[in-house]
Amino acid sequence: MTPGSDGADSGAEDGGVDADQAVTAVYQEHALGLTRLAFLMLGDRQTAEDVVQEAFCGLYRAWDRISDHANALGYVRISVLNGSRSALRSTRRVPRPLAVPAVASAEATMLATEERRETVAALRRLPSRQREALVLRYYADLPEQETALAMGVSLGTVKSTTSRALAALGRMLQEEL
């Protein structure tokens, strides 16, 4: 409290502190999962980390303009998807193939089994909208309504896109057998 202050919260003095603490809390809880999401979309760990970092910087910059701070994760998730889309557009139309690093990290170990690699490779061959729908629904475990919000599409579009994506993924995996 500053001298002469009556203790009332003006919002101006602690706005930066609140943003610092709140964005840090969201980052600590969700950065790894969002990086994995971006990695599944992009196929490149460094680019995925950059996209997530930029999304959190954007959240911090926009904190005072966000009306529902409880939905900060949704804001960052949408930013990560948009950043992934932009990264794909700026580099190429097709995401990079999944590269397993020489030194196995926890994520690389998780993805090391042959079945999982085949599934991820097939996922990468899907059109980006179908890939987004599957990653959000089944990897991020979002309900259809939140998936629709994150993708910026209707609920019906999520349902039909997910259905088509699962059918295409199943055909691709059958062909590999």
CATH of the domain at 41: 1.10.1740
Residues 88 and 142 in one domain: no
Range of the domain at 37: 15-101
35 with 43: CB under 8 angstroms? no
Q: In the chain, what is the straight-line distance between the N-terminal and C-terminal CA atoms, in Å?
A: 68
Residues 170 and 129 in one domain: yes
Q: Is residue 126 helix, strand or coil?
A: coil
> Does residue 107 fall inside a structural domain?
no
Q: Evaluate if pTM is beyond 0.75.
A: no
Counting the structural domains of the chain, the total is 2
Tell me how far apart the alpha carbons of residues 138 and 127 are, in angstroms, rounded to a whole number. Answer: 16
Per-residue DSSP letter, 92? -
Query: Which tokens belong to 112?
Result: 């090391």
> Does residue 88 fall inside a structural domain?
yes
pLDDT in tens, the chain (177 residues): 333 334 333 343 334 448 889 899 999 999 999 999 999 888 888 999 999 999 999 999 999 888 888 889 999 999 999 999 898 887 654 545 555 455 556 655 554 566 777 888 888 899 989 999 999 998 888 899 999 999 999 999 999 999 999 999 989 888 876
Question: Of 72, 101, 130, which residue constitutes the final position of a domain?
Answer: 101
